[in-house]
Every structure is written in structure tokens, then in C-alpha cells.
Structure 1
Amino acid sequence: HTQTSSAMDKLITHILAADVDAAFAAAAAEWPVWDSKTHPQVPKKSGKFAFNYNGDYATERVLIVCGAATLTPDDGSAAVSIAAGDSVWFHKGFACQWKVTAPMKKHYEYFDAAGMVKAPAAIACDQCGADCEAESWLVNGEEDVCPTCYTEKKMEGGERQVMGEPAPVGDPAEETKQATEPAAEKVAPVEPETEATKKRKSR
């Protein structure tokens, strides 16, 4: 039978254990390890959680060490079942619901569009994925948000941070006001109307 293809189908590449390249497996053995037991789950210990692959990378590539899971894409396309030995490439934009069916560990690494290993942003916006290490807002003590999202989503009560450290907050509106006020005073003076100018106008 023919499976209808959708956008999400093209954003995940699943390679079964028997087809995983030996060189890839050897390289992946050196990558960091993710453990499902330490990942927040909703409800707790249910194996279920949502994940959106929208960080500052082109693909996240993984090699499953042990365990199993079923991934259900958010757009309703066919679920993907992954297991020990499999390799999975999550392309930017893929979003799914995870259901870990056997405790899982996997090696993972981030790659750019050229296929080179890319270190993820030290601080990435939890709303849009942009690198916001230079300036960010810490919301509810745990969510990092870039200035653009903080403003556009009308968030309040956040702590402004620069390079991950708390920074004094200057009122942007006040700073802008101070910057524009002197300029407004530099308007060219209007020539006072004299008897001579009145005569020129009346001609």
C-alpha cells in the first residue's frame, strides 16, 4: 500500500539497527548520552512528553543505546517506533509526542546544514529557539526567552539576563524618550515676521 506523505514525514529519518553505518555508530559512541529516566514526563513516570525540534541546528542525530519508544508526529502523520540500535535524524521543525515504552538511553549530537557538528546555543529561547545568550529574560525561574518573544508575547515579571547573568533593567521606553527629546529641541527656529517679510508675502 502507498502511505500518504506529509510535511512531518520528511522531517524524521529512521534507520533500522541492521542498516546503521558502522562509522556513524563509532562516532556516536563518543556523543553525550540522554536518559529517558531523567527527562520530565507528563504525567510523571508515564514515559510521555512532547518535544519540538526547533533549536539552533539543522538536525539532531541520535543512536539508540537501549530501550524503545513510539513517536507520534503533531501533524497526525504515521507514528514511528524506534528501538535499541536504531539511528534517528530529527530535522529542524519536527514536532512529536514521545511515548517511551522501555527505559531508553541514546547518544545525541547537533549538526548544521553542512553536516558538521554544531554546538547548541549556550542559551536558546524556549519560545523560538533563537540564540539569546547575549540578552535574555528568565521567566518563572526556568524559561529562557529572547527579548523579541518577551515583548511580542507581552510577558511580565521576568529577570533580564546578559550572558546568563542577572543584569539591571533599564526602561527601554524611558531610554528612547531621553534619546529623542534633545533632538526635538533642535528644530530650526521660525523666522520672526517683520514689516519686510509681510511686504514680500503680499507681492
Structure 2
Amino acid sequence: MGSELSKQDLYEGVKSLVDHTANHIHLPQHKLFTLFSIGFQYLLFNSTKVPGAYIIRIEDSLLADKLCKKAKDQTTRKFLQSLMLPRKLKYGKSIFYLDYFHIGTWNLTKDIPRDKIKGALIVKNTTTRPMNEQVIEEEETDVLMQNLPKDYFLSSLTDFVPRTITIAFDESFDELEKLEFPFIKKDVEKTISGVTLGNDVSWDKID
């Protein structure tokens, strides 16, 4: 699971989202599990101020399972674990829904009256899956997805949801405004003869 996100960083992250004036925000940094905790806690906070329906749209169930285990705060992990099976959970006066990028999973969310949906968190994986998994998924989704616009998983929400937070590393969306958190530092990498070394390598000990 790794280290927890500090309460101060979590607070500062949520506050930055609360204070931001854009309706549709893109979190482009590489720390997926940190960003998910921040985005999710923002949604929880906002749901207490603006009750209604809130959608969490994750790329697929494999990523959702990872987020359950590796999100950087315990509250987020427990909430998502409780949400995974029914994919619908009441929180205070609001209701949270979970679906995935594939429109076949939108059975719970497609019929929610649009004026009831107050926010959404969209989460794209930072890694590419093995080719054999991609081929299987493409075969399964071809009929439903082939005629949909690119990034429909996102535009289908930004078209009418008043506030969306999108987590997507190394992606660009013209309609979204980027927000980066200063406490998330870029990984420092150094290269010797084409081999990339991470932060945990001591350069002083290399002959």
C-alpha cells in the first residue's frame, strides 16, 4: 500500500479543488493513487455541501480493485471497497455510483435525472495493459463502442455534469483546465548508458 498521504497534503489538495473556479478540471500528474484520494475526498466533501448524485467512473474493474488497495488514505479505500459490489452507496443526503468506461456498465447511471447529478470523478489508468488483454477487450467492446466519439467516457459527463475531476497522466483534453499540486514532485531519474535508475539508487556507490 505504501505510505499514506499526509493530512496536510490531503487538506491542501482538496482545498485547491474547492477554490478552483473551473467546472471541469484535469489532474495530469503521475501519482495516480495520491490523486485519487484527493479527488475522492473532494467529492465526499462537496456531497455534504451540494447533495445529489455523484459518479465515479474508473477505466475498468482491474483499476478499481487497485485503487481499493492502494489509494493513499484509509477512508477512500474503505468507501470504494463498500461501493465496488453494489456500485451504488448512500452517503449522507447524497448517493455515489460507480461505473466504468465501457457503456455496458452504465446501467445504474444512465437513468439518473441529469439535474440530480452534481459531480463526477473520472479515472484513467497510467499504465498500458498487455496486448492480449487489450485484444480481448476490443473484441468485447467493439459492437457497443465502435461508433462512439473519442473520449466518450469523459464527454458524456462533461456535457451536463456541473463539476468533473479527471485523473489522467500524460493525456491532453482541450475542454479541461489542468491543476497540479506542488507537493507532488516529479520523479528524478538519471541514465547511464541507456539504463534508467530511480531515486532509490545511490550514485555515490556506483564505481
TM-score (norm 1): 0.21
Greater fraction of residues in helix: 2
Greater fraction of residues in strand: 1
Q: Whose relative contact order is higher, 1 or 2, with alpha carbons under 8 Å and at least 6 apart?
A: 2
Larger Rg: 1
